[in-house]
């Protein structure tokens, strides 16, 4: 049972997370899931909740970033053709709660490294883009995105930067689009329309989405919040360790 103080924490934490993730073209589902999982909610509740917020926030992020950069359309289509059915398939699978937390803990390592700028940003491709490599990436990332309940951008964006296929702005735009469409596929696959989401979770969504809209706007304008990002990194690191060891 979540106490009133914990609900208050959610009303503060989720909007901050949405703001920060949207500022780099992400939806924030991994951290929504982290908080809700640590509070003891079941995967069948938190997956559709996180995906709904992810859909809205990632769409707003894509809308803002597409104003500042030309989206690599061909690459986006190649990735999405294979990721969407894989995300739907992953969404149909409901895994045991403890395994779910372990997998989520591992997934959280990606946004930690992303915010720390650990992944190198190559200006020239280190691997030439061909017909099958985007397909493999789309299938793999899409499946795990649907399985966990994320859009997949936290995995896709560092891979794109590492391969040198896109620059920072292009990565943010294509990741936001990738998250938006795959979150829809994962939500449908998880039978989200039939899930009875609690009224408390419904009330969290509007303020989280508004915060995401603000983050997308400021992120597209190169706005930077180093101190808050540092705090977020600390929280994500703690939660990742806790979920992996749980």
Residue 180: its pLDDT value, please? 93
Q: What is the pTM of this model?
A: 0.81
Residue 81: its pLDDT value, please? 94
**Cα separation of 118 and 77, whole Å?**
27
**Cα separation of 17 and 5, whole Å?**
18
Residue 225: its pLDDT value, please? 55
Q: Provide the residue count of the chain.
A: 246
CB-facing half-sphere around the CA of 202: CA atoms within 13 A? 5
Residue 235: its pLDDT value, please? 60
Q: For the chain, what is the HEC assignment?
A: CCCHHHHHHHHHHHHHHHHHHHCCCCCCHHHHHHHHHHCCCCHHHHHHHHHHHHHHHHHHHHHHHCCCCCCCHHHHHHHHHHHHHHHHHHHCCCCCHHHHHHHHHHHCHHHHHHHCCCCCCCCCCCCCCCCCHHHHHHHHHHHHHHHHCCCCHHHHHHHHHHHCCCCHHHHHHHHHHHHHHHHHHHHHHCCHHHCCCCHHHHHHHHHHHHHHHHHHHHHHCCCCCHHHHHHHHHHHHHHHHHHHHC
pLDDT in tens, the chain (246 residues): 567 777 787 888 888 878 877 777 677 777 788 778 777 777 778 888 888 888 988 888 888 888 888 888 899 999 999 999 999 999 998 888 788 878 888 887 877 776 677 766 666 777 777 778 999 999 999 998 898 888 888 888 888 888 888 887 888 889 889 999 999 999 998 888 888 887 878 888 888 888 888 877 776 665 555 655 665 666 667 767 877 876
Largest interatomic CA distance in the chain: 53
Residue 227: its pLDDT value, please? 55
């Amino acid at each position: 049972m979540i106490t009133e103080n914990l609900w208050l924490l959610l009303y503060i934490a989720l909007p901050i997370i949405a703001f920060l993730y949207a500022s780099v073209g992400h939806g924030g589902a991994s951290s929504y899931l982290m908080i809700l999982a640590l509070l003891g909610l079941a995967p069948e509740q938190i997956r559709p909740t996180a995906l709904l917020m992810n859909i809205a926030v990632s769409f707003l992020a894509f809308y803002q970033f597409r104003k500042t950069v030309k989206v690599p359309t061909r690459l986006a289509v190649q990735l999405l053709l294979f990721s969407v059915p894989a995300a739907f398939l992953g969404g149909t699978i409901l895994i045991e709660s403890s395994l779910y937390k372990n997998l989520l803990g591992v997934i959280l390592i990606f946004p930690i490294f992303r915010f720390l700028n650990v992944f190198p940003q190559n200006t020239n491709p280190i691997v030439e883009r061909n017909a099958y490599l985007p397909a493999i990436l789309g299938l793999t990332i899409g499946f795990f995105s649907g399985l966990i309940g994320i859009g997949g951008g936290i995995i896709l964006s560092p891979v794109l930067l590492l391969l040198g296929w896109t620059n920072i702005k292009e990565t943010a735009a294509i990741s936001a689009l990738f998250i938006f469409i795959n979150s829809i596929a994962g939500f449908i696959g998880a039978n989200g329309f039939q899930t009875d989401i609690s009224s408390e979770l419904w009330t969290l969504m509007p303020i989280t989405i508004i915060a995401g809209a603000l983050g997308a706007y400021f992120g597209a304008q190169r706005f930077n919040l180093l101190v808050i990002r540092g705090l977020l990194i600390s929280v994500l690191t703690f939660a990742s360790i806790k979920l992996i060891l749980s």
